[in-house]
């Protein structure tokens, strides 16, 4: 089944990229090098590795404290 976006000549990957926000962080060189090492080991980019770490952190928090924004549904 084709995505609704295909009708407009847009693929799903482009839709995901448009919906993503960007942040910048300050990080020392050694930590950044280690992040790249872990990401390479896992077969990911450093950016993807950071997104996974953030996702895992949020999931852990929600398991311990309940869903974030649950009342906004």
CB 55 within 8 A of CB 47: no
Q: What is the CATH number of domain 4-72?
A: 1.10.1220.10
Closest CA to 15 of 30, 28, 2: 2
> What confidence score (pLDDT) does residue 20 get?
82
The tokens for 3 are 């995505």
The tokens for 68 are 């974030």
Whole-angstrom Cα Rg for the chain: 17
d(CA 2, CA 12): 10
Sorted by where each begins, the domain ranges of the chain are: 4-72
Per-residue pLDDT 10s for the chain (73 aa) are 566 556 666 565 555 566 788 999 999 999 999 999 999 999 999 999 999 999 999 999 999 999 998 665 5
């Amino acid at each position: 089944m084709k995505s609704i976006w295909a009708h407009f000549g847009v693929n799903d990957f482009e839709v995901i990229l448009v919906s993503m926000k960007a942040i910048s962080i300050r990080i020392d060189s050694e930590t950044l090098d280690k992040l790249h090492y872990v990401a390479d080991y896992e077969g990911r980019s450093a950016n993807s590795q950071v997104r996974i770490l953030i996702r895992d952190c949020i999931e852990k928090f929600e398991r311990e404290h309940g869903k974030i924004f649950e009342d906004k549904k």
